[in-house]
């Protein structure tokens, strides 16, 4: 994991606790060594705790904006239920890193 991300993990975890995040993973350049601060985005996928659809949409937007503020870069945030495709799922199985788990 790139130090750019690891240095910000406490703030990310606090944001997750405040916004009913169940799990949060990172993948892509911030994991495989291609990340360039100021140039790269950060790829993440998220699973929220159970909530209504409107609340879920609002929460996803709030978390996305907060992550971009914490990380000072673009964040591609994928909801877990939007991940499709056998090859992409396999890629995630191999190269994702969990950075938050609520334990619930």
Cβ contacts of 98-101, under 8 Å, gap ≥ 24: 98/23, 98/24, 98/25, 99/5, 99/9, 99/12, 99/13, 99/24, 99/25, 99/26, 100/12, 100/13, 100/16, 100/21, 100/23, 100/24, 101/22, 101/23
pLDDT value at position 81? 87
The verdict on domain 3-101 having CATH code 2.60.40.10 is: no
What are the residue boundaries of the structural domains of the chain, listed by start? 3-101
Report mean pLDDT in 10-residue bins for the chain, 104 residues.
Answer: 93 98 97 92 97 97 98 96 91 94 89
């Amino acid at each position: 994991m790139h130090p750019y991300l690891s240095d910000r993990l406490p703030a990310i975890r606090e944001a997750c606790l405040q916004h009913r995040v169940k799990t949060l993973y990172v993948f892509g350049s911030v994991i495989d060594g291609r990340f360039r601060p100021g140039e790269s985005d950060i790829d993440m996928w998220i699973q929220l705790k159970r909530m209504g659809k409107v609340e879920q949409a609002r929460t996803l937007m709030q978390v996305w904006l907060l992550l971009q503020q914490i990380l000072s870069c673009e964040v591609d945030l994928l909801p877990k239920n939007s991940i499709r495709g056998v090859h992409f799922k396999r890629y995630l199985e191999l190269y994702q890193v969990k950075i938050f788990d609520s334990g619930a």
